[in-house]
Structure 1
Amino acid sequence: MNKNREFSILFPNFADIEYKQLSPESCHDLGLDTLCSCITNDSKEQNLIMNIISNMTADPRVAEYRCQVFGDILRNPKLRTRMVELFDKLGFIKQFSASRIQSDEKLGFWHLMHRLDELNDYIKCVEEMKHCLEGEKLESKGLKGFLSYIDELYNEACFAEMKKDIAELKVKSADIQSVTVGINVNERFEATSMGLISVNARQFKKSNIVSNFADALASKNKINDRPAWDGDMHYHQVDKLRTHVISKTINKMGEYLAVTNTPFVDGRIRATVTQTPDGDGSSGATFYLDKVLNKMLDSMVKKLRDTLSKYADIAIVNISQLVPEFFYYIRFADFIEQYTEKGFKFCEAKTLSDDDIFMDAKGMYNMKLAVNSEKMEDIVCNDLVFDKEHTIYILTGANRGGKTTITQAVGIMYVLAQGGISVPADSFLYRPVDCVYTHFPADEDKTLDLGRLGEECVRFKDIYSSCTKDSLLLLNETFSTTSFEEGFFIARDSVKAIAQKKVRTIYNTHMHKLALEADDINSTEGYAKVSSLIMKSDNGQRSFKVEVGSPEGMSYAHDIAVKYGVTFDMLTDTEKTTH
């Protein structure tokens, strides 16, 4: 069996695929940690999901491969339930087996029989997994490939033959009354190795016929010229105290009895002859047969058990490595199904090959809103396009007007889509990105050495050096920790540099003047286009809707002033009426 052959339902075996890991800061800025905690309560599964969705590539084949697998799993809730049951059973068997191997110092026949039970359970699990997948109408290359993969492992591990052998060999330890062995001896007629012939439910009994035959064989000095056992079962009872009888018996009957008629028809299973190591005190085995037999039996049983386990373990390990990948899809499918039943909308993301359009989202919303909302009607959805005329957005609007929410939503859409997961939108067409970079306000304790502005500058330079034209860059109030004049100067140069690199960007900021610089930046030949994006307001009321347009900074401030009575006329009129 090819131990090195691996299969994945997450990472297709395409050549030259480069993956990039989102930084912990970006994962936190996008709220992925919160999202993972909503999907599962298990901390290990949360880490698993986080590691997968934060591992990104711009290769559209990976996103399409994952999307197809997720579609199959989402459409088949019974498949999800049954697979989880089988995975739980596999995990228990594997863990129990490992603990027994560590705790049992001596391996005897009971341990062999216990291992047979384990292997039988393994085989049943794999068979049920095959049956479970074969019973579904699979459409994805990933799950179809997995079904072929476990079928290949099943056949290479000789599970069908092994299952038959186990059924024939399965004897309770309490029923074992005797064993038949073949013993090899050296020129001094000392026991050197031994092979197992059979395990028997009855004890051997001395009969006159057997006794007379054995005595005759010894007296006539006959030695078989064939090392293979012909099936005859002759028993000669040996008294431990009469060592000369033992010596004489082994002398005359000590040829190697090959294992030819055992139920283990596979040649790998037959290789159960054990060598007695030199210097272990067994050179006197001829005179201490009972001691040597016990020792050699233990060694032989271990080798037989290991031989049985070898191919089964390879298959189980290979299948077990895929269990976390299945849980990734299953937990997300359960989550999407749960919120779909509550009325929240999701769709299958589609990759684009158009060079002029990078993203076209209709009716999208921040996934985190679904967790914190009782119904879909409470959520405001938005449309947004990235194309050659709108590659960089300068997003402005009122405080607490939804700028951060929409910025975060775009990042989550890409992460989920490229992870193969359904996205919160009516439709989502996109070109995958190689990574998502975020520049959100840092925690206070991270700015002590450089100061807030210094820390922002250093972090932005690192991000800018890492991102490419295939990246997504999300900036949240970047360079806003200093005076307006200083912040605006740095922000303008930063946006021009981003435009030169042609990085898809959303820069949400309170610096409305920066949005007014779009025309000036766009006048430079070869730069990506910058657009002003605003959070609309209606007479001072937040609408949480975005649209391309000129900044509303002054008009919005006037609306707020009017609402709360703090215009000059309103203030002075109030002053006059109080006197």
Structure 2
Amino acid sequence: MKAHLMFRDKDFNLLQPLPPNEHYLVHDLDLDTLLGAMAGGDEFLLKVSRVALLNGLTNPTEIAYRQSVLDDCSSHSEIVRQIYEIAVKALFDKHKMFWFTRQDSPTGMMAQSPQVIGMFMGYLKQLRKIVDEHGETFSSEGWTTLFRVLKEELSDDYFSVVDDNLNQLKFRDGTLISAKLTFGNTGMDYVLRDSRNTKQSLKERLGVGGRKSYSFDINSRDEAGMNALNVIMSKGMNSAANSLTQAADHLTNFFAMLRTELAFFVAALNLKEILSAKNEPTCNAVAKPWSPPLLNFIGLYDVCLSLRSQTSVIGNDANADDNSLVVITGANSGGKSTFLRSVGVALVMMRSGMFVPAKSFTASVCEGLFTHFVREEDSSMTSGKLDEELARMSEVVDAITPKCIVLLNESFSATNEREGSEIAYQVIRALIDSDVRTIVVTHLSELALRFYQNDASSALFLQAGRQGTAGRNFKLTPGEPLSTSYGEDVYNRIGGW
């Protein structure tokens, strides 16, 4: 059985490697704040969420499939959490059984595996009850497929047969093993048999009349005889023990995968409940193929900033459809970097199949997302800031492929205006020519003006808003690049000289 929740036709791989730029994505987009809210202190939810978010989907159909599953989860939050707890408890009980003892011999496995299977049967019956009571209220393909499989495979006849076999494996009537004799009267072809109808009659037990079988006793102090009997028992039970162990492993794998895939949706529910309590809007992104370029949204906000704030944060609207480049200029502390992060986080969330922090959001699905944000100088740097920026950009260029998006935040600002503008222009031009879409926040007016003069028809230019001489409304609006960042506003706000 498969869970069918994260993918239509395959399992979610929790052990898949993270992308090579994982560290930069998490740092630049403040994803630790997002992941912390999703996990709610649960290490397993954190691990699953990290893998799902950073290894985003690239197929709009797969994104829509996962979104529909999450919609069902949102409509049936209590039931979904109940199913998740069943999977968690089942695996915990299995762990407890093996914590005290683990049997590797055939006779030991014959004793332990039925206990594991019997324990799992109790939890499967709980799942079947949920399916019977609530299955018809779910509508997504993922949930309806899972419930249909559970209903078909976990029938009353199935439970009856399993319970009967588990009772038989208690060997209340003893253990019956058949064998053939070969040369030297050595045994071969040992087979475990049904012993329920092999009880001796009263006459046989009294030694009256004919016998169907003969028996002998081994003295409890006969160590060699007991060892020989254990060898025979192991040979007779080996095949059955392997089958039972495989059955127990199969059930373990099902509950493990159910827990893993549900963990992502439980984490997403945790986040949605936090945002709903703050009256922050969320929506399902409309994921589209890479071509033509699409990126438009209404009310997009930085969800990580919201999670760290007591109040709601200001959202922005933009329409960058048919544009391979977005250039953002304007006032210092005007919300440019926050806007850039909000776009990046929304793309990450969309590609994972989650809702996004906006009233509406439509975007082309990229193959990968990369960031290059300005860094403050610190003692860990072994060279100048420009060298460090160039080294990080080299890592981006080495890893990036066509159909990717890169977010640049004040890149190459460590040198003078002319040199920084020239380096940035050549890098961005090469990225665009390689079918890599780019969103740039910059204070380099020469760079912005050069793109405005040469690429105005295929680029969107946004300005960070300014109110009066010092105020900021944190709204970005379309407009030609500004030649100033109004740094004197910040200077005056902190007191000047």
Q: Using the alignment, how far apart are the partners of 1:506 and 1:456 within structure 2?
A: 17
1:538 aligns with 2:467: yes
- Corresponding residue for 1:556? 486
Indicate the SS of the match to 1:56: coil
- Corresponding residue for 1:82? 82
1:168-226 superposed Cα distances (whole Å, 9 cap, x missing partner): 4275x8xx474455454446555556554556799969757851324xx6xxxxxxxxx
Give the drift of 1:424.
0.8
Structure 1 residues 212, 236: closer, same or farther in 2, change over 3 A? farther
Q: Using the alignment, how far apart are the partners of 1:300 and 1:512 within structure 2?
A: 83
Q: Using the alignment, how far apart are the partners of 2:475 and 2:434 within structure 1?
A: 29
Q: Which moved more, 1:185-194 or 1:447-456?
A: 185-194
**After superposition, where does 1:170-569 map in structure 2 within 5 Å?**
171=170, 176=172, 178-182=174-178, 184-186=180-182, 189=185, 195-197=191-193, 207=203, 210-214=206-210, 234=212, 238=216, 291-352=227-288, 358-376=294-312, 379-388=313-322, 390-442=323-375, 444=377, 448=381, 451-464=384-397, 466-467=399-400, 470-522=403-455, 529-539=458-468, 540-554=470-484, 556-557=486-487
Give the residue type in structure 2 aligned to 1:165: D
Indicate the SS of the match to 2:207: helix
- Corresponding residue for 1:27? 26
- Corresponding residue for 1:123? 121
TM-score, normalised on structure 2? 0.83
Structure 1 residues 152, 145: closer, same or farther in 2, change over 3 A? same
List alignment gaps of at least 5 residues for structure 1: 218-233, 242-284, 572-579
- Identity, in percent, stands at 21
Is the 1:386–1:504 contact (alpha carbons within 8 Å) kept by the matching residues of 2? no
Relative contact order, CA 8 A, sep 6+: which one is greater? 2
Indicate the SS of the match to 1:517: helix
Is the 1:54–1:415 contact (alpha carbons within 8 Å) kept by the matching residues of 2? yes
Give the residue type in structure 1 aligned to 2:374: P
Give the residue type in structure 1 aligned to 2:329: T
Structure 1 residues 47, 353: closer, same or farther in 2, change over 3 A? closer
Structure 1 residues 303, 99: closer, same or farther in 2, change over 3 A? farther
Give the residue type in structure 2 aligned to 1:398: A
List alignment gaps of at least 5 residues for structure 2: 11-16
Q: Using the alignment, how far apart are the partners of 1:550 and 1:236 within structure 2?
A: 102
Give the drift of 1:336.
0.6
- Corresponding residue for 2:13? none
Structure 1 residues 87, 6: closer, same or farther in 2, change over 3 A? closer
- Corresponding residue for 2:5? 9
Give the drift of 1:447.
7.9
Give the drift of 1:11.
3.5
Give the residue type in structure 1 aligned to 2:60: P
Task: Note the aligned Cα RMSD (angstroms).
Answer: 3.8
Is the 1:394–1:515 contact (alpha carbons within 8 Å) kept by the matching residues of 2? yes
Is the 1:447–1:455 contact (alpha carbons within 8 Å) kept by the matching residues of 2? no
Q: Using the alignment, how far apart are the partners of 2:226 and 2:325 within structure 1?
A: 85
Give the residue type in structure 1 aligned to 2:247: Y
Give the drift of 1:163.
1.8
TM-score, normalised on structure 1? 0.72
Q: Using the alignment, how far apart are the partners of 2:218 and 2:110 within structure 1?
A: 27
Is the 2:442–2:448 contact (alpha carbons within 8 Å) kept by the matching residues of 1? no
Q: Using the alignment, how far apart are the partners of 2:201 and 2:140 within structure 1?
A: 63
Indicate the SS of the match to 1:213: coil
Give the residue type in structure 1 aligned to 2:319: V
Q: Using the alignment, how far apart are the partners of 2:56 and 2:216 within structure 1?
A: 72
Give the drift of 1:544.
1.0
